[in-house]
Homo-oligomer: A and B are copies of this chain.
């Protein structure tokens, strides 16, 4: 996995920080988080990194592809986490695994998770691109099949809390480790006390 000197066929040669492509993605993430996907134009992205629109189009064939590339790290991690959790035997283990993965995901990719959850354009694009919509599978992992209202509310509460990590300015100053710990504890507490009897 390290930077082997020879035979670096796919890796960007000489690693200039990932290059222009990554600069586009960084700028896009900033702007999507601040203005939403629909509220962000290619001109804004180009201006943000000091080039023209045409230079951006040299890296990506369309705006949709930029959006998908921005969301990709989060989406792939999410999909893997769901599949992993679904392989476990007991409902308790499935929920614990999914919850831990979700907390880790939203903390390490705060803005991506917020965009994916809260931006209608991003959600639609992600759903149309991914093989299967993960939202109902996550819901089942968290509150089981046919949950009662209390489980649904508790589940939504946890989901909302996870979304807020990328939306609430007052959480920005906390580092990943301590934020994860408190989030996980509170979510576990809430779910075990209010979504266990389903």
Interface size on A, residues (CB 8 A): 42
Secondary structure type dominating chain A contacts: helix
Min distance, Cβ A37 to any Cβ of chain B, angstroms: 8
Which residue of B120, B152, B155, B164 contacts A157 across the interface (Cβ within 8 Å)?
A: B164
A171 within 8 A of B: yes
> How far, in whole Å, are A152 and B186 apart by their CA atoms in the complex?
11
Query: How many copies of this chain does one complex carry?
Result: 2
Min distance, Cβ A147 to any Cβ of chain B, angstroms: 8
**Contact (Cβ within 8 A) B39 A121:** yes
Of residues A38, A119, A157, A183, which shows the largest number of chain B Cβ atoms within 10 Å of its Cβ?
A: A157
Interface 0/1 of A110-133, CB less than 8 Å to B: 000000011111000000000000
Interface 0/1 of A38-66, CB less than 8 Å to B: 11000000000000000000000000000
Min distance, Cβ A82 to any Cβ of chain B, angstroms: 17
Which residue of B159, B161, B179 contacts A168 across the interface (Cβ within 8 Å)?
A: B159
**Contact (Cβ within 8 A) B39 A186:** no
> How far, in whole Å, are A187 and B38 apart by their CA atoms in the complex?
33
**Contact (Cβ within 8 A) B153 A157:** no
A18 within 8 A of B: no
Which residue in chain B gives the minimum CB-CB distance to A124? B35
**Contact (Cβ within 8 A) A167 B118:** yes
B residues less than 8 Å from A36 (CB atoms)? 36, 38-39, 119-121
B residues less than 8 Å from A158 (CB atoms)? 157
Min distance, Cβ A126 to any Cβ of chain B, angstroms: 14
Min distance, Cβ A141 to any Cβ of chain B, angstroms: 14
Given contacts A34-B120, A39-B120, A120-B34, contact A156 B149 (CB under 8 A): no
